[in-house]
Amino acid sequence: MDKVEIRQGSWFEPLEDVKGKLVGLVSNPPYIPSDQLFGLQAEVGKHEPRLALDGGENGMDDLLHLCEGTTLMLKPGGFFAFETNGEKQSKFLADFMVNNSKAVFRDVKIVADFAGIERFVTGFCH
C-alpha cells in the first residue's frame, strides 16, 4: 500500500534512505528574487521568514537545486510539481528541465493557478 510520509530537514538530507524510490515530489520553495523581498504584501513579508521566501538573485536558486535533487530522489516514472512566482520563472524552469537536464524529465508542463497565473511546473522522471 502506498503511503504519505512527512519528513523535516534541509532539502534532501532527511530522504537519503529513500533515494531513487519516491513516487512523487511536491515543493513550494523560496522563489522570490532577493531584490523584491522588500516590496511584498504585508501578509507575506511580515509573517514569513526570509529563508522561506528568498530564492536568490533571480529567484531560481532553490528551484534549480530541486531539479538536481529530483533526478536523484524520484524513481522512474515519478511525478514532480514545483511552485514558481509566475510565468517568467515557470517558462525558464520548464525549458531548463526539458533542454538542460540530460533528458531525465518528460511530459513537463506549466499549469496555471486559479487566478490564471502560470505558476506550477509539473512532469515526470524517465
Q: Please determine, for residue 38, whether its predicted confidence score (pLDDT) is greater than 90.
A: no
Q: Is residue 96 part of a domain?
A: yes
Mean pLDDT along residues 47-71: 91
Name the range with the highest mean pLDDT among 1-15, 33-47, 55-69, 107-121: 107-121
What residue numbers bound the domain in which 59 lies?
Answer: 21-125
Q: Is residue 105 part of a domain?
A: yes
Mean pLDDT along residues 114-125: 97
The dihedral region occupied by 122, where left means phi > 0, alpha psi between -120 and 50, and beta the remainder, is beta
Domain count, the chain: 1
Looking at the DSSP bridge assignments, the partners of residue 106 are 124
Q: Please determine, for residue 49, whether its predicted confidence score (pLDDT) is greater than 90.
A: no
CA neighbor of 36 nearest in space, from 28, 26, 27, 45: 45
What's the mean per-residue pLDDT of the chain? 91
CATH number at residue 105: 3.40.50.150
- pTM, two decimals, is 0.88
